[in-house]
Structures are given as structure tokens and as C-alpha cells.
Amino acid sequence: MSLSINNVTKRYRIRARKSVVNALNGITLSVEKGRTLGIVGESGCGKSTLARLIVGLEPPTEGSLLWSGSPLGQGVKNTFRSRHSKTQLVFQDPYSSLNPRQTIGACIAEVLKTHKLRGDAEISARVIELLAVVGIAADMQTRFPHQLSGGQRQRVAIARALAAEPELLVLDEPVSALDVSVRADVMNLLVDLKNKFNLTYIFISHDLSMVRHISDEIAVMYLGRIVEYGTWDEVLNNPKHPYTKALIESIPEHTNVRGIDFENVLEGEVPDPANLPQGCAFHQRCPLAVESCKLKVPELLNATKSHLVACPEVLK
């Protein structure tokens, strides 16, 4: 039982500009059941696109996504229901991801009815049970989303995802829209749920300090490619790729205020994904770039057995 993503690309055609946006450019990843993969990267690097592909909201342009051997994101019509019940997504913004005209009870019940997970008589009991799992009182089920706080809404969104009895949960920045004070609560809830239901997580964030708390493995993305992959310890404490180094240095810290000494501050902008540079997508901003970086897209190479880096220069 595992998720395997094989050389997946996703391109969006933009008709008005007559151009093609390369959101994902050959992603290969695998996640073992019961593990948590953290995916980090800045805005626009393709994290959320990957999330949507994993839950089958969109098909990949090329490549395949398999969950325990069966494909995701293909044959949309036939296996629509069963497919979605195995992989579920929790969205970033709990303010906009819940239907404002639907009570939270109805929102969760809709999942049960769609997938026919419970008989009609058992639905309301199951809704109360799911709300209890995420720490929401049963009498809240008649409330509308606007009557709830951000943290409560995200709990509802999590309950809604759990209602489908998924094996894999994709968490697309689940806490970044929340107040700092409730982030820890929701993070702890996620950890508890994972152990309780034996879930596999894909935790997407631009915030490395959140990823650190929950991930077993971490993948760093830049412009639709994975540039570094390894256990959280390897990636965060021994980063190899210059982009990862810059990303880690950008984490604000409340200690060591005086000794600010950024070695790897990035300059320039992220290139346009509709017009990718030749060779390594990072070479224009990379302090280590040499002539050969402009010619060939670097492959992921082993730094150690479990630590992969897409930069031949740092491995020399």
C-alpha cells in the first residue's frame, strides 16, 4: 500500500496568451503507507497542482499516479466515487472551501450519501461521530460555516475529508490561513488522527517550521520539479541544494537575532512557468551556477542512500 507518482507532468494551456504553463515537469515520488511526506516550496512552484492531481481532481498531462497499484486521475467517470474515497484533500482556506449555504452537518452528510457509506438511518449518528473526532460539539451541526471560527471550520473540513474514510489525506497548507494560536491545536489534531486511523499524509506547506513538526520525509519543489528529497533530518539539518539552503535560512527565528549572516540570499524573481529557462530552472538565481547548468536539466542524484539532490555541483 503506497502512493507512487511516476514522472508526472501537468501543463495548462492559456488560450488568451496562447502559451502553456508548465505547472509540473516530471515529478517522481513515492510515499509508504502510514508515512508523512512534507512538500515545501514557494508560491507557484506547483505544490497545489500536485495536490489536486493526487486526489484526482484533475488528470495529469503525462505520467501516472498510483495508489496501491491502481491509477488515480484516470477513468474519471467510471471510478469517480471509489477513487475519491481513498484520497481526500483538505484545502488551505477554511473560509472559502466550505459552501456558505450548507450547514456543516449537511456538508459532511453529503459525503456519506455520495459514497453510500452509511444507510439513511445511520447518517446523522455518523456525522455526530465525525464531528466528535475533530472536537466539534454535536449541536454545531446545524450551524452555517460563517458562524464558526477559522479553527473550527478547518476542523469541519478535516471531518469532511475523514467522512469518506480515506487512506491518504492530502493537506494543502492546512494551517497557514489560521491564527497562530490555533495552528498548534490543528497540527496536534492531525497527528492524533493519523495515528488513530492509520492514515498516510501528504503535507504541503511553504512554512518549513510546520513541515518539520509532522513530516517523515520532505520533498523540496522549485518550478514544478523536485530539487531535493530525503528524511526531514537530512533535508533540514544537512541541506544540499542551494535553493533548499536559501529556503531554510529564510525561516524567521526568534533566537540569534544579532548574528544575522545570510549566506544564501536569493536574488531575482522566479522565472515564468510559461517560459521556463533552458537547463536547470534555478540557474539564473543560483550562486553555484556554472556553464553546464544552462544546458541540461539536472537529475535527482543520491547524496546518501535516502537523500536525493538535483544539483551535480554540490555533489562534486
Partner 1 sequence: MGFLKRLASVLTTLFGISVFVFVVLRVIPGDTITSSLGIETGVLTPEQIDTLRAYYGIDKPLVGQYLSWMASFLSGDLGFSYSTGAPVWDLTKSALLVTMQLALFGTILGVLIGISIGMFSARKPGSARDFLGQFFGLLALAIPGFVLSTTIVTVMANKFQYFPNGYEYMTPFEDLSMNLQQMLFPSLVLGIAVAAPIMRTTRSALLETVDKDFVRTAYGKGVKPRIVRLRHVLRNSLIPIVTMTGIQFGYLLGGAVIVEKIFALPGMGRQILDAINKREYATVQSSIMVFAILFVTINLITDWVYRKVDPRIK
Residue 195's φ and ψ, nearest 5 degrees, are -70, -40
With respect to partner 1, which residue has the nearer C-beta, 51 or 220?
51
With respect to partner 1, which residue has the nearer C-beta, 61 or 114?
114
In whole angstroms, give the CA distance from residue 144 to residue 106: 10
Q: How far is the CB of 88 from partner 1 (least distance, A)?
A: 7
Q: How far is the CB of 47 from partner 1 (least distance, A)?
A: 15
With respect to partner 1, which residue has the nearer C-beta, 88 or 244?
88
Q: Is the dihedral of CA 133, 160, 176, 145 positive or negative?
A: negative
Q: Cite the DSSP H helix spans in the chain.
A: 47-54, 80-86, 104-114, 123-133, 150-163, 180-197, 208-214, 232-237, 242-249, 312-315
Q: How far is the CB of 285 from partner 1 (least distance, A)?
A: 31
With respect to partner 1, which residue has the nearer C-beta, 95 or 185?
95
Q: What is the length of the chain? A: 316
Q: How far is the CB of 206 from partner 1 (least distance, A)?
A: 18
Of 232, 242, 213, nearest in space to 307 by CA: 232
Q: What is the DSSP letter of 3?
A: E
C-alpha cell at 53: 492531481
Query: Helices 123-133 & 150-163, crossing angle to 10 degrees?
Result: 130
With respect to partner 1, which residue has the nearer C-beta, 102 or 264?
102
Q: How far is the CB of 82 from partner 1 (least distance, A)?
A: 8
Q: How far is the CB of 67 from partner 1 (least distance, A)?
A: 14
With respect to partner 1, which residue has the nearer C-beta, 12 or 144?
144
Q: How many CB atoms lie within 10 A of CB 3?
A: 24
In whole angstroms, give the CA distance from residue 228 to residue 46: 15
With respect to partner 1, which residue has the nearer C-beta, 15 or 18?
15
Residue 233 neighbours by CB under 8 Å, 6+ apart: none
| Cβ atoms of 168 and 67 closer than 8 Å | yes
Q: How far is the CB of 50 from partner 1 (least distance, A)?
A: 14
Of 311, 316, 261, nearest in space to 285 by CA: 311
Q: How far is the CB of 191 from partner 1 (least distance, A)?
A: 22
C-alpha cell at 168: 491518504
Q: Which residues bind partner 1 (CB under 8 A)?
A: 15, 52, 55, 57, 80-81, 83-85, 88-89, 91, 93, 96-102, 110-111, 114-115, 144, 146, 157, 160, 164
In whole angstroms, give the CA distance from residue 99 to residue 143: 12
With respect to partner 1, which residue has the nearer C-beta, 27 or 157?
157
